[in-house]
Amino acid sequence: MMKRTKCLFFIFFCIFFMTACQKKEPVELKPFENIKIKETGWNGSGEIEVTSHKIHYTGNDESIKKLIHSLQYTVKNNKELKNGDKVTIKLVYDSDLFKLANVKFNKTEYTYKVHSLQDDTRTVKTITNEKKDPVTGENVDVAEQIITVDGIEIPASWNLSDEEIQEYVSYMKGTENSENVPEEKGVDVIWSQGESDVKTNRKNSKYYTKDYNNNDVECYQAAYSYGQTSSQQFKIKPVFQDDKSIGYECIFKENS
């Protein structure tokens, strides 16, 4: 009887020892290593947004992949921001998925310093244009408000948000600076990187303002979104006809 008890004890001990040895060390993930942060609004009334995160993981554990896909980020005190302010970005994750995946995070929060908000230099003026009345056919004076930001004029009737105004101004300033720069060998061309994790093979595509109620900004945003949602490098160039811009073309870099 004693021998049998010792034998059973030895078997249970071996099973316990083998189970303990087989327990895997948790995989370390770095959720803040490759996050992209976008600052929006004006200096003194800005916000930040985490637009994407790419966590390095080369394994094939589906529970870890599911956890990575579900990660979210929150920002504390994310309003009325000005350059120099520091905000805390916190990682949000599902505790059940976390336990199932057997991982550990190198950090769960990150301090970000706001640094690239633009000063609000908008000015508004009213101009009068002569237009044909669609009913009478007569020429009449029509008043229109124009918003000017950094030398770029935008009709108030476009009803753009602060973020859309800033994107449009940045694009137009970039166009002005590159108009006289030929794309010759040896000249660097600035390409943007698409954010899709799934490999795409999109072809160049043109977008015309007439298809967007002659709203130049919406047309540009459609072209930009087409490139941004790809995995390829791209750039946006205006499409001209009779020396007048009639739309935008999303151009993809070969082998990108």
Each residue's pLDDT tens digit in the chain (256 positions)?
555 555 555 555 445 444 444 557 899 999 999 898 989 889 999 999 998 888 989 988 999 999 999 999 999 999 999 999 999 999 999 999 999 999 999 999 999 999 989 898 889 888 887 777 778 878 888 788 888 988 888 888 777 788 888 877 877 776 555 544 444 333 334 678 888 888 999 999 999 999 988 888 788 889 989 998 999 999 888 888 887 789 899 999 987 7
Residues 6+ apart with CB under 8 A from 113: 84, 85, 86
Place of tokens 């166009």: 175
CA distance 126 to 194: 39
Strand runs (DSSP E) across the chain, as ranges?
Answer: 27-29, 36-40, 47-52, 72-75, 86-92, 103-105, 109-113, 123-132, 139-149, 152-155, 192-193, 205-208, 233-241, 244-252
Q: pTM score, two decimals? A: 0.57
pLDDT computed for residue 182 by the predictor:
44
Residue 15: Cβ within 10 Å count: 10
The b/e string for 92-129 (b: 16+ C-beta within 10 A; e otherwise) is ebeeebbeebebebeeeebebebeebbeeeeeeeeeee
Q: Bridge partners of 27?
A: 103
CA distance 12 to 9: 5
pLDDT computed for residue 128 by the predictor:
83
Nearest by Cα to 237 from 226, 248, 225: 248
CA distance 252 to 256: 8
